[in-house]
Amino acid sequence: MPQWTVPLADVVVPEEDIAAVADVYRSGWLSMGPETEALEREFAAYTGAAHALAATNGTAALHLICVAAGLGPGDEVVVPSMTFVATVNAIAYTGASPVFADVVSVTEPWLDPASVESVLTERTTAIMTMAYGGHPGQSEALAQLARERGLILLEDAAHAIGTRLGGRHLGTLGLAGAYSFFSNKNLAVGEGGMVVTDDDAVAARMRLLRSHGMTTLTWDRHRGHASAYDVVELGFNYRIDEPRAALGRRRLARLDDDNARRAELDARYRELLAGVDGLTPALPPVEGVRLAHHLFTIVLDEGIDRARFRETLAVRGVQTSVHYPPAHRFSIHATDAELPITDAYGERAVTLPMFATMTIEQQDEVVEAVRAALGVTAGARG
Ligand SMILES: *Cc1c(COP(=O)(O)O)cnc(C)c1O
């Protein structure tokens, strides 16, 4: 691995977290049990959802909400192309067809309700939103549109743990929401995820689907609460394990502090980059709304060579990324749909380092590197 002066994201696991995980290994019970149940209770309380169920990763969580929503062959589901491909894959796993809609603007890379409306057909059954960078975007307008049209609203809230809008946590605006605990996410466990819903039947169905469609869990049988089981659904093994649940609980308890630190870094980036020619910071803050600040992205002016810009930063030890190559540009999801704003963002956006333990010195180094890189590439502007 290259030694970055400033990595894109960083995970620091304090000794007390390691001790909590070690205790689980000493307990003699590793598969879903008391730690998982506690994490689910705490996550439900944190988001205000009636039900929270942990899953093995965010993709499995997305698949669970799609299956539990009843998606299947013949259904069309409107989804952004400007997302991680797993959002789109999860819809396709069910046999339903993902239908792409465009995003609002090159600094607001989330679903545009007008574009969503323009692709609705009589086969549309659901809208899947993605809270880009933890930003609520047009979630409320999309929830309203879904209600008006009798469509199911599903939320990929992988970036948005900690974002609340009008008192509601993202992921709880529609029928069900999914979250990821992947190692570069705000609540980093390594691999892990969560689903939430207020609907008792959907929750019961997801609980079954998560564990082979079996009517009892190993944990229930271990505690003598059940001895036999039936299999009533074609389910999966999408369970988390106890060590990861224990780590997730520790990190959830600190998440608001971590997100507050991200908010400070976000505001400081905006201040320092305000006068810099050649770029526009994306994801504008929302007055009075607490955001997860999962990503900090900038959009380069048209004509700036992005590959060269990123390479110049890399040489200085500053890691960057692109979130995301649009899904409709991958062979597997290729379509005739025209998504000009998604394409423009996909070509011009750069993700700068952002993590709760980032120091001011590291942030200054990123800003210096960005300024220098734009100076160097100025001649290459067309
Ligand atoms: C990370 C991510 C996922 C997938 O989560 P995993 O836990 O890696 O499976 C899905 N959607 C979005 C938007 C993501 O960022």
Where in the sequence numbering do the catalytic residues fall?
Answer: 185
CB of 66 closer than 8 Å to CB of 94: yes
Same domain, 226 and 363: no
What integer pLDDT is reported at residue 381 of this predicted model?
Answer: 41
Q: Which atom of ligand 1 is nearest to the CA of 60?
A: 9
In a domain? residue 220: yes
- What pLDDT, on a 0 to 100 scale, did the predictor assign at position 275? 87
DSSP 94: T
Ligand 1, residue 59: give the atom nearest the CA: 9
How many folded domains does the chain comprise? 2
Residues 168 and 153 occupy one common structural domain: yes
273 and 175, same structural domain? no
Among 253, 286, 321, identify where a domain stops.
253
Q: How far is the CA of 104 from the centre of ligand 1 (A)?
A: 22
7, part of any domain: no
User: Which CATH number characterizes residue 49's domain?
Assistant: 3.40.640.10
Query: Best of 66, 128, 180 to mutate for ligand 1, by most ligand atoms within 8 A of CB?
Result: 180
Rounded CA-CA distance 134/157 in Å is 7
Boundary residue ending a domain (229, 253, 277): 253
Q: What is the pLDDT of residue 67?
A: 98
> What was the pLDDT predicted at 3?
86
Q: Is residue 8 part of a domain?
A: no
- Relative to beta strand 164-165, strand 168-169 is antiparallel
Say whether both 286 and 201 belong to one domain: no
158 C-beta closer than 6 A to ligand 1: yes
CB 18 within 8 A of CB 332: no
Q: In the listed set 196, 225, 253, which residue is the last one of a domain according to the structure?
A: 253
- Whether residues 23 and 117 fall in one domain: yes
Q: Is residue 203 part of a domain?
A: yes
Q: For 155, phi and psi rounded to 5 degrees?
A: -125, 125
* Same domain as 284, residue 185: no
| pLDDT tens-digit map of 67-120 | 999 999 999 999 999 999 999 999 999 999 999 999 999 999 999 999 999 999
Report the nearest atom of ligand 1 relative to the CA of 182: 7
Mutate which of 156, 238, 323 for ligand 1 pocket (most atoms within 8 A of beta carbon): 156
CATH code at 330? 3.90.1150.10
Determine the pLDDT at residue 1. 56
Residue 4 lies in a domain: no
* pLDDT the model gives residue 58: 98
Are 22 and 46 within one domain? Answer: yes
Q: Is 238 in the pocket of ligand 1 (CB under 6 A)?
A: no
DSSP for 107-123?
TEEEE-HHHHHHH--TT
Same domain, 365 and 225: no
- Where in the sequence is the domain holding 287, given as residue range(s)? 256-380
Q: Which residues 6+ apart lie within 8 Å of 279 measured at CB?
A: 273, 298, 299, 300, 301, 370, 374
183 and 323 in a common domain: no
* Same domain flag for 56 and 188: yes
Instruction: Establish whether the linkage from the previous residue to 324 is cis, with ω within 30° of 0.
Output: yes
73 and 115, same domain (yes or no): yes
pLDDT of residue 217: 79
59 and 153, same domain (yes or no) = yes
Does residue 227 lie within any of the structural domains?
yes
Residue 3 within a domain:
no
* Domain assignment present for 2: no
Phi-psi region of 146 (alpha: psi -120 to 50; beta: other; left: phi over 0): alpha
Low-confidence ranges of the chain (pLDDT < 50): 376-382
